[in-house]
Amino acid sequence: DSRFKELDKSDVEHFRSILGSSASAIIDGVTQEASNEDLEGYNADWMRKYRGHARLVLKPESTEQVSKILKYCNDNMIAVNPQGGNTGLVGGSVPVFDEVVINLARMSKIRSFDDVSGIFVADAGVILESADSYLAERGYIFPLDLGAKGSCQLGGNVATNAGGLRLLRYGSLHGNILGLEAVLPDGTVVDDLSKLRKNNTGYDLKQLFIGGEGTIGIVTALSIICPQRSPAVNVAYFGLQSYEKAQEAFREAKKQLSEILSAFEMMDGQSQNLYARASGAKLPLEEEYPFYCLIETSGSNTDHDSEKLNTFLEHVMGEEIVSDGVVAQDETQVQSLWACREGVSEASQHWGGVYKYDLSIPLPQLYDLVAEARTRFEESGLMSKEDEGKAVLDVVGYGHMGDSNLHLNVACRRYDKEVEKVLEPWVYEWVAERHGSISAEHGLGLAKKEFIGYSRSETMVKLMKQIKDFYDPKGIMNPYKYI
Ligand code: FAD
Ligand code: MLT
Ligand code: ZN
């Protein structure tokens, strides 16, 4: 956009004066020849689907530095792209053109933890897994967990309002986050790092940054309430004959496991075969099934929980709801069962590319979309049988069934417009007709920019635009993305 300034030497000098001379603070492809390789990890997204052309990456280490950078950018009409661990799945985390990347990796301090209230305060650049390990040592758990935990940052989790594997138990970040510190484009520091569980004093403005996808400001710190870590954790993995059986199993799990149920995930047979092929791992059950579910329980009493789980298992197997199942006997098995679920993301893009859809759909219809998508591809002539080399390898469905959140993935050998045409806008129309959401947890970013209207009314989009204009009147924050 020609409204934005092209970077020159004086801009880089100014940023150096803010950040100091440390080599890790700036990757400079403007005045110094940082190679494309140096910049690649900041320009290319996790799926290798979106690629920007940033020539400058800034890595501030304090809120004050973020504030000075943004103020300068705002005064000089320099477009910016906030970035955390760059694990986002909608193209929001990388620039479109040459926006300056502001990466929060160096803001990685844990600020405080209260082991009575469970309130944890940390910089936005703390890696999710590091936060959880810190809490584990103190008997607590971070109330969010997801497959990208080893690289994603808390600020990125906040900005995407990530849902993940245990939302069923601990609820969404909108409820758990007690306070935020954020910097607005003009450099104003929004100091709302409250540690209060209850605070009904006017509009709850922090909620706008949760799921804001870096379009109105940069989150620099958060305060979050963390639950006690459960000493007794059990994981079970089942094979089932149909999606109807998976729904019955979910109903029974809620009824019989109630307060100890901490995850209910569904994977179809195709997703598990893809995982096994890509990872070389052996699937846990001897026979193959059209559907699988993973259940986790977390409670405080091993005997009590095991008894409940065993009674549940006896019931669902006796009633032939579940055909076969295995319960993890130790931590290694817990990890390998979870890997069958968490490993599907990586497996889906193992052969070159993946078209990803992250949808909220009423539970009874949730899997119909996958079956219909598969039929569309079989009829399209784009689907490979054996190793024919055609673009589409498989259509898989999996996700957070406990939250009515389906992930439809089309695993491909390459990104191909013909494949996209089979899926879009058909998927979005399908979801809108059933009053679902075109983004349950990944956000809109660039990928779904054109499609917001399928889930939000004109009035809602207009209000969002007004908020964007109010917070970011010059439009420098993550431009070209959804709003
Ligand atoms: P990035 O990818 O760097 O950024 C994501 C967005 O947030 C961008 O728009 C960026 O501009 C903005 N942003 C980043 N940091 C800040 C900040 N400090 N202030 C303002 N804006 C910022 N998501 C789920 O919801 N549930 C899952 O189960 C899940 N599993 C995943 C599994 C894998 C293997 C992968 C690769 C991704 C998964 N995701 C999942 C996607 C999810 O959005 C991210 O993993 C994570 O929340 C993004 O964090 P990040 O630090 O990588 O952010
Ligand atoms: C998941 O649940 O595995 C994630 O949201 C990532 C994905 O959709 O691949
Ligand atoms: Zn997910």
Q: Is the distance from the beta carbon of residue 172 to the nearest atom of ligand 1 less than 6 Å?
A: no
389 CA from centroid of ligand 2 (Å)? 26
In the predicted model, is pLDDT for residue 335 greater than 90?
yes
Q: Is the CB of 206 under 6 A from ligand 2?
A: no
* pLDDT confidence of residue 378: 93
Ligand 1 atom closest to the Cα of residue 481 is 9
What are the tens digits of pLDDT across the range 48-81? 999 999 999 999 999 999 999 999 999 999 999 9
pLDDT at 46 (0 to 100): 97
Q: How far is the CA of 88 from the centre of ligand 1 (A)?
A: 4
Q: How far is the CA of 25 from the centre of ligand 1 (A)?
A: 22
When pLDDT is cut at 50, 70 and 90, the band that residue 347 belongs to is very high
* Cβ 407 under 6 angstroms from ligand 2: yes
Ligand 1 test: best mutation among 57, 152, 360, most atoms within 8 Å of CB?
152
Residue identifier of the C-alpha nearest atom 6 of ligand 2: 345
Burial class (CB in 10 A: 0-12, 13-18, 19+), 35: exposed
Give yes or no for residue 387 having a pLDDT over 80.
no
Residue 353 in this model has a pLDDT that exceeds 90? yes
349 Cβ inside 6 Å of ligand 1? no
Q: What is the pLDDT of residue 344?
A: 98
Could you report the per-residue pLDDT of 239-256, keeping only the tens digit for each?
999 999 999 999 999 999
Residue 108 has pLDDT above 90, yes or no: yes
Predicted confidence at residue 385, as pLDDT, reads 79
- Report pLDDT digits (tens) over 259-283: 999 999 999 999 999 999 999 999 9
**All domains in the chain, ordered by first residue:** 9-106 (3.30.43.10), 110-225 (3.30.465.10), 232-343 (3.30.70.2190), 349-465 (3.30.70.2740)
Mean pLDDT of 130-141: 98
Query: Taking the model in full, what pTM does it have?
Result: 0.98
pLDDT of residue 23: 82
Ligand number, closest to the Cα atom of 80: 1
- The number of the ligand 2 atom at minimal distance from the alpha carbon of 399 is 2
Contact 370 CB / ligand 1 (< 6 Å):
no
Q: Give the model confidence (pLDDT) of 415-472 as tens digits.
A: 999 999 999 999 999 999 999 999 999 999 999 999 999 999 999 999 999 999 999 9
